[in-house]
Amino acid sequence: MPHTMSRMGDVLAGFHAVWEFESDSVLIRYERGIRTPRLFQALGERRIPLAAVEEVTLTPGKRGSVVLRLRPRPGADPLMDAAAGQLREGSDPYRLVLPAERATLAEYYADELKPLLTESGPEPAERWLVAAPEAPLQFKAYDGKASFDGTSVQFRWSWTGASSAKWKAGDQSWPVADLSGVEWRSPEVFEGHLRLVPREGDSTRPAQPDQDPAAVVFGLGYGPVHESLPFAAAVLAALCTRGPVPVAPAPPRRDPADIAERIRHLGELHQAGLVTDEEFSSKKAELLAEL
């Protein structure tokens, strides 16, 4: 007879989150508040099937606390796979920090969970078991705006931040069907970025993300973790669940003021010698055609 939680529906409240224990999952509700990590607030609520969990641990924390933590199996949660170990300890959505006086209760729940994890083991999951953040999603990077509608990723370059290489390439649209992966490098480290990996390998791709039309780069205040990581996770999850690609509707007409501003910036690049006469004429014609 399979082991089940002895008291289904019990809750364990810690700092920044409340865990509710069910027979086959743990429902995590993240609190809202100034001190709550912004990633937690963005996630709101997550149901973690026990089949997605490899291990549960209870360890001493800082300043008179204990930490109850679930370790997800590789391939079970697109958010953690996209993060690839880059999250700071305080922003780990699988950690529940509790006052030390609740250690006995936390130990009880850890002991209750452990027998339920033996069936899944440490093997990588064959499919996503934890739901990814839902599209549509968007965020502002240093050199452009990224948006994802569930079927394709759009990059619209910023005239103040995008490199001349990206301006030459023009705004980008990447259907999920054309992608094989997504690389997220935290904005909290040097050269943070989000980079798409095309399904058809291209050996000519620029080494630097700021030169690659398949990437947006982060900067101070641009591409924060709580916006860019859920975005990367949603794209990553879509790569494994895509169906027939729907016919995209015709793009809406651009704001004439925006087009004029882009043409002016293109002219500045041309005068600076960063864009050839042919490239200037061709790109200008493309922009005018969007009116």
Tell me the pTM: 0.80
Q: What is the pLDDT of residue 75?
A: 94
Domain boundaries, position 73: 11-117
Taking phi first (over 0 means left), then psi (-120 to 50 degrees means alpha), and beta for anything else, what does residue 290 get? Answer: alpha
In-domain check, residue 48: yes
Pair (165, 238) in one structural domain = yes
Backbone angles phi, psi at 182, to 5 degrees: -145, 135
Average pLDDT over residues 142-147: 97
Pair (41, 105) in one structural domain = yes
Average pLDDT over residues 194-202: 85
* pLDDT-based confidence at residue 248 (cuts at 50, 70, 90): very low
Pair (224, 171) in one structural domain = yes
pLDDT tens-digit readout, 20-79: 999 899 999 999 888 899 999 999 999 999 999 999 999 999 989 999 999 999 999 999
For residue 182, the domain's CATH number is 2.30.29
List all residues 6 or more positions away from 262 whose beta carbon is below 8 Å from its beta carbon. Answer: 159, 287
